[in-house]
Structures are given as structure tokens and as C-alpha cells.
């Protein structure tokens, strides 16, 4: 008898197969017992009739508690009323392990209760759907760059200095060398990669000791960062919009059942097609003023401001040329206006806020050194980075996409904590 997964049942109609999984639910009606088995690829109902199995097997039903592990043998039957389209007429069953009383029941639980049991919560249908969408997004990210001639050059996680401001650094002792910091972004190394390989990306976990306790912030999150030699800000925006369209359309095509489980309104995602609107920071400020918001030129856009700006559009909006003073040291100033940086943030629709941050990089040695000094960053730690401006410096650009914010938006979630298997936040380091 072949061992199969629920997702492959369509290939075995009329055949006798064996499934392994956990008990999702059960009920009985007269001489029939119904068992819902989930195996990670789907859920299928097994129908066990008295007489169709040995009496001892039929009795096993009573021992099966929620989340007990077991195997079911039976004949696959097509049934259009069944959730997955198939049912199993059970001929045999074996219990592998009888679960103790499972803490997560179909009733409502508070989010902290569930977060404390994240290792079990992942088994729930909703979390299962989110993880499947996350994986598809990550695959789309890799496919997108791999299919376009980018080389993956991963950046180190232990680094000697800050990349995105000194206020959110996680510090750790590092042998005789003093302190190391968990990386906030792989960008500086990706720039070195781009000078060696032209088009590169790095993709890994990044860390920010964020004091912000918002629905958009984690202390550990995944970021993908492409970096391209000879790309200017416009090229960077072209790349970002093609990239986002590709991700969203891949998920829509391949994860429709999961989006349905999540009750996501997919019509909003269908709009995510190029070209995306591009507005300057100045225009964004005008939008805020028209809405009666007393926003002062020079400030960074806050979460609420981002929501208000994005409400004007039915797809992601690219806001470019922010005041240089609120952006990172490595961003190139606009030759047409030294007050603004050649930066771009991509704001997701529906109030999800910034999902991409990027820029054209300062490629002039003297200007970059001046920025490093202005921001009181340690020169020694950036000497290697300055080499990129000493030896064949070229215009170049890149950006970083936060995976968790992207998952949150595409799944339509209230909080990023559900977008990663084991979230890390100021108040949460477990499980
Ligand atoms: O805008 P950020 O800080 O940009 C950088 O780190 C650049 N070095 C990237 C680059 O140009 N290569 O972060 C990029 C993205 C944000 O737009 C957001 O999606 C995500 O990373 N992000 C966070 N996600 C979750 N929790 C946090 N605390 C995040 N901080 C940033
Ligand atoms: Mg940013």
C-alpha cells in the first residue's frame, strides 16, 4: 500500500493508500465514525463504518484525542462536497501517539495565550496558510533575482559597525576584538558584491533593537537586498515595481486556497501591476496637507502619514527624494537639490506602510567620508567600505524588502507577529 500525502490524493482515486498525520477533529453518527486527518499538506476526512474495519480498530476511535498522531489506510473516493475534493473509506487505522489534552481548542483564545504556545499554534489552519504564503513569497523573491542574472552574495550577521543608525544595535562581546553587532542590513556588503559581480542580492535575517511596539516591528526579521552597479534611482524604482508585481502575482496564482482560508480580499492584490505611482516626498507632504494634517517638511513620514498617503492609490506607491537629514548616511544627495536624498520608500496599500526602503548610494569618496564624520560613525570600521569609492567607484543603487511586512500585507494580517514562525519582539523571546 503506498504512503501518500493529502495533497496527492487526486492521483490515487479508487486506490488503497495509507496516510500519516494528526487528528484535527472527529465526530460520530450512528455506526459511522468521521476522522479529520491533517498531515501538513492538507486535511482529509476518513469515513470508518462499523463492519468495514476490525472491531478492535473501530474501538480505537474513542482513544483518539485532538492532535493524536495516527495512520489511516483506505480507499480514495472523489467527493465534491469534501473540502479537498476527496474522502477516504477507511479500512485500517493505527495510533502512533495519543496526545495529552491539547491546549488550543476550536474556541477563541487570546493572542498572548497563543503566542506562548507558538510551537503548537503553527498547526492551526490559519497559521498553516500564512507559512505557506510566506514560503511562496520567499521562493518568488529567489526566482525573480535568479532568473535575472543576479548572484546571491550573502552578508555577515556579526558586523563591526552600524548600517542603519546606532540607536537600534544589538551588541555582543566578541573575543579580544571588543564588541560585534548583529547586522541591521546586509547592504554595505552587498555594495561590495555589486562592484565584483554587477547584480547581486543578499537575503538573510537582520536585527534591530527597536523600541517600537507596533504591528510593523520585529527585532529579528528577514530582508532581501538587491544591489546593482550602474543603476540610478529611476532604475531602482523600475526594479522595485517589477519585483513586487512578480511576488504578488506569483502568490495569487499559486496560493489561492491559502488566501481564501485567510479571507483575504484578493481584488486588492490583483491591482498590483506596473506602473506604480511615483510621488516625491514634497508631493506626499502636499497630500497630507490637503487632508488637513499639520505635517512639517523635514520630518520622516510616520505610520499614520504613510497610510494617509497610500490611501490615494489602489496599488503600492513609491515615495522618493526624502529630506536627507532623516535618511541614512550612505544615500546620495539629489544633484538638483542637496536637501533631499535619492531615496525611495515603497508604501503598501491598505495601511500596511513601508515595505521597501532603498536609494541610490553616495559614490563620491569625499562626500561619503564627510557623512560618516557628520554622523559620528567610526571611520576605521568603514575604511573597507570607502575602498569601494577609491577603486573604480560607479553610480549604484539598491533596496531592502522586509519579508514579514510583505507577508503581513499579502495575507491581510493585523500584526507582523504571525508572519514568521517564531517572532522576536521587545517583550518576546520565547518559545
Ligand atoms: O528601510 P530600511 O531600514 O532599509 C535598509 O535597511 C536598507 N539598508 C536597505 C537597502 O537599501 N539595501 O529597511 C528595509 C525594510 C523596510 O522597508 C521594512 O520592510 C523592513 O526592512 N523593516 C522591518 N521589518 C520588520 N521589523 C522591523 N523592525 C523592520 N525594520 C525594517
Ligand atoms: Mg526605511
CATH number for the domain spanning 68: value is: 2.40.50.140
pTM of the full structure: 0.97
- Tell me the average pLDDT across 397-415: 98
Does residue 409 form part of some domain?
Answer: yes
Q: What pLDDT is attached to residue 64?
A: 98
Looking at the fold, whether 79 and 129 belong to one and the same domain comes out as: no
Tens-place pLDDT, residues 53-85: 999 999 999 999 999 999 999 999 999 999 889
Domain endpoint, select from 97, 128, 149: 97
Q: Which ligand 1 atom sits closest to the C-alpha of 398? A: 11
Q: What are phi and psi of 242, to 5 degrees?
A: -65, -40
DSSP state of 404: H
End-to-end CA distance of the chain: 39
Q: Which ligand 1 atom sits closest to the C-alpha of 346? A: 17
- Tell me the average pLDDT across 15-21: 98
Q: What pLDDT is attached to residue 106?
A: 82
Lowest mean pLDDT across 234-238, 294-298, 341-345, 376-380? 376-380
Does residue 82 form part of some domain?
Answer: yes
- Tell me the average pLDDT across 186-206: 98
- Reported confidence tier of residue 165, pLDDT bands at 50, 70, 90: confident
Q: What are phi and psi of 59, to 5 degrees?
A: -70, -30
Looking at the fold, whether 255 and 395 belong to one and the same domain comes out as: yes
Looking at the fold, whether 140 and 26 belong to one and the same domain comes out as: no
- Reported confidence tier of residue 2, pLDDT bands at 50, 70, 90: confident
Does residue 350 form part of some domain?
Answer: yes
Residue 93 has pLDDT above 80, yes or no: yes
Cα–ligand 2 centroid distance for 168 (angstroms): 13
Q: Crossing angle of helices 125-146/233-254, nearest 10°?
A: 140
- Reported confidence tier of residue 163, pLDDT bands at 50, 70, 90: confident
- Tell me the average pLDDT across 354-381: 96
Return the ligand number nearest the Cα of 353: 1
Three-state SS across 12-41?
Answer: HECCEEEEEEEEEEEEEECCEEEEEEECCC
Looking at the fold, whether 308 and 257 belong to one and the same domain comes out as: yes
Note residues around ion ligand 2 (Cβ under 5 angstroms): 357
Cα–ligand 1 centroid distance for 105 (angstroms): 36
Distance from the Cα of residue 144 to its chain's centroid? 15
Looking at the fold, whether 77 and 15 belong to one and the same domain comes out as: yes
Average pLDDT over the chain reads: 96
Pick the residue whose CA is nearest to atom 18 on ligand 1: 402
Does residue 113 form part of some domain?
Answer: no
Which of 168, 216, 223 has most ligand 1 atoms within 8 Å of its beta carbon, as the pocket-test mutant? 223
Pick the residue whose CA is nearest to atom 1 on ligand 1: 357
Which residues, in sequence order, are CB contacts of 265 under 8 Å at separation 6+?
412
Looking at the fold, whether 77 and 136 belong to one and the same domain comes out as: no
CATH of the domain at 196: 3.30.930.10
Is the CB of residue 88 less than 8 Å from the CB of residue 75? yes
Cα–ligand 1 centroid distance for 356 (angstroms): 7
Percentage of the chain beyond pLDDT 90 is: 95
Pick the residue whose CA is nearest to atom 15 on ligand 1: 402
Looking at the fold, whether 29 and 89 belong to one and the same domain comes out as: yes
Looking at the fold, whether 80 and 168 belong to one and the same domain comes out as: no
| Number of independent structural domains in the chain | 2
Looking at the fold, whether 93 and 123 belong to one and the same domain comes out as: no
123 closest CA partner among 234, 30, 27, 40:
40
Does residue 425 form part of some domain?
Answer: no
Tens-place pLDDT, residues 197-235: 999 999 999 999 988 888 999 999 999 999 999 999 999
Q: What pLDDT is attached to residue 210?
A: 85
Cα–ligand 2 centroid distance for 357 (angstroms): 4
Pick the residue whose CA is nearest to atom 2 on ligand 1: 357
- Reported confidence tier of residue 396, pLDDT bands at 50, 70, 90: very high
**What is the DSSP code string of 92-136?**
EEEEEEPPPPPS--SS---HHHHHHTHHHHTTSHHHHHHHHHHHH
Looking at the fold, whether 310 and 374 belong to one and the same domain comes out as: yes
Does residue 285 form part of some domain?
Answer: yes
Does residue 110 form part of some domain?
Answer: no
Q: Which ligand 1 atom sits closest to the C-alpha of 190? A: 12
Does residue 225's CB lie within 6 angstroms of at least one atom of ligand 1? yes
Does residue 427 form part of some domain?
Answer: no
**What is the DSSP code string of 329-397?**
TTBPEETTEEEEESEEEEEETTTTEEEEEEEEBP--HHHHHHHHHHTT--GGGGHHHHHTTTSS---EE
Domain endpoint, select from 64, 97, 130: 97
Looking at the fold, whether 84 and 123 belong to one and the same domain comes out as: no
Domain holding 183, by residue range, is 118-419
Looking at the fold, whether 179 and 70 belong to one and the same domain comes out as: no
Name which residue leads in pLDDT, 159 or 165.
159
Amino acid at each position: 500500500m503506498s504512503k501518500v500525502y493529502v495533497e496527492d490524493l487526486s492521483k490515487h482515486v479508487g486506490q488503497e493508500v495509507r496516510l500519516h498525520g494528526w487528528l484535527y477533529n472527529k465526530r460520530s453518527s450512528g455506526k459511522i465514525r468521521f476522522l479529520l486527518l491533517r498531515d501538513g499538506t492538507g486535511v482529509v476526512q476518513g469515513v470508518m463504518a462499523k463492519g468495514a474495519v476490525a472491531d478492535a480498530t473501530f474501538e480505537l476511535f474513542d482513544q483518539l484525542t485532538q492532535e493524536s498522531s495516527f495512520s489511516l489506510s483506505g480507499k480514495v473516493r472523489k467527493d465534491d462536497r469534501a473540502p479537498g475534493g476527496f474522502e477516504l473509506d477507511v479500512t485500517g487505522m493505527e495510533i502512533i501517539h495519543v496526545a495529552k489534552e491539547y491546549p488550543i481548542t476550536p474556541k477563541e483564545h487570546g493572542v498572548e495565550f497563543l503566542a506562548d504556545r507558538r510551537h503548537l499554534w503553527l498547526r492551526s489552519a490559519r497559521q498553516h496558510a500564512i507559512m505557506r504564503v510566506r514560503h511562496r513569497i520567499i521562493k518568488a523573491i529567489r526566482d525573480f533575482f535568479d532568473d535575472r542574472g543576479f548572484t546571491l552574495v550573502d552578508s555577515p550577521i556579526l558586523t563591526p559597525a552600524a548600517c542603519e543608525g546606532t540607536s537600534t544595535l544589538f551588541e555582543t562581546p566578541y573575543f579580544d576584538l571588543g564588541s560585534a553587532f548583529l547586522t541591521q542590513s546586509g547592504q554595505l556588503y552587498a555594495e561590495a558584491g555589486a562592484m565584483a559581480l554587477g547584480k547581486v542580492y543578499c537575503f538573510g535575517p537582520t536585527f534591530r533593537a527597536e523600541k517600537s511596539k507596533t504591528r510593523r516591528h520585529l527585532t529579528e526579521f528577514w530582508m532581501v537586498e538587491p544591489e546593482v552597479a550602474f543603476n540610478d534611482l529611476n532604475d531602482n524604482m523600475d526594479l522595485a515595481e517589477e519585483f513586487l508585481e512578480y511576488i504578488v502575482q506569483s502568490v495569487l496564482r499559486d496560493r489561492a486556497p491559502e488566501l481564501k482560508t485567510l479571507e483575504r480580499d484578493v481584488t486588492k492584490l490583483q491591482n498590483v501591476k506596473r506602473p506604480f505611482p511615483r510621488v516625491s516626498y514634497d508631493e506626499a507632504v502636499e497630500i497630507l496637507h490637503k487632508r488637513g494634517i499639520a505635517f512639517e517638511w523635514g520630518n520622516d513620514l510616520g505610520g499614520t502619514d504613510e497610510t494617509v498617503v497610500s490611501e490615494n492609490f489602489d496599488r503600492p506607491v513609491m515615495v522618493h527624494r526624502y529630506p536627507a537629514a532623516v535618511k541614512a548616511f550612505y544615500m546620495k544627495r539629489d544633484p538638483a537639490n542637496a536637501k533631499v536624498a535619492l531615496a525611495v520608500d515603497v508604501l503598501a496599500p491598505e495601511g500596511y506602510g513601508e515595505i521597501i526602503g532603498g536609494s541610490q548610494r553616495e559614490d563620491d569618496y569625499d562626500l561619503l567620508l564627510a557623512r560618516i564624520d557628520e554622523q559620528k560613525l567610526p571611520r576605521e570600521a568603514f575604511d573597507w567600505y570607502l575602498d569601494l569609492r577609491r577603486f573604480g567607484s560607479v553610480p549604484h543603487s539598491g533596496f531592502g524588502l522586509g519579508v514579514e511586512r510583505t507577508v503581513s500585507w499579502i495575507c491581510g494580517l493585523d500584526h507582523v507577529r504571525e508572519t514568521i514562525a517564531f517572532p522576536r519582539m521587545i517583550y518576546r523571546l520565547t518559545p
